[in-house]
Amino acid sequence: MKPPTAAQRRIIEAADPRTGRLSGTEAQLQALVRARLAFRHPRPPHACFLTPAGHRVRDEAAAPASPAP
């Protein structure tokens, strides 16, 4: 799996911290669904939420980089 683009990372980082609900354009959300970083809820309004893989991407981005010894 290729890494998310900068725009996709911004959407993932802006996801709701508790629910993982995403907001973005339809094309952006669809790209995250195709990359399996998000899923579309089956009931209306068909909101998109982060998958466990999407949560990992968000957590990795939030973690401070440790300096090399």
Can you give the pLDDT at residue 68? Answer: 61
> How many Cβ atoms are within 10 Å of 57's Cβ, its own excluded?
21
Can you give the pLDDT at residue 62? Answer: 76
Predicted TM-score (pTM) of the model is 0.84
Can you give the pLDDT at residue 48? Answer: 97
Long-range contacts of 50-55 (CB under 8 A, 24+ apart): 50/12, 50/15, 50/20, 50/22, 54/12, 54/15, 54/20, 55/20
With 70 as the cut, is the pLDDT of residue 66 above it?
Answer: no
Query: What confidence tens digit (pLDDT) does each residue in 2-59 have?
Result: 889 999 999 999 999 999 999 999 999 999 999 999 999 999 999 999 999 999 999 9
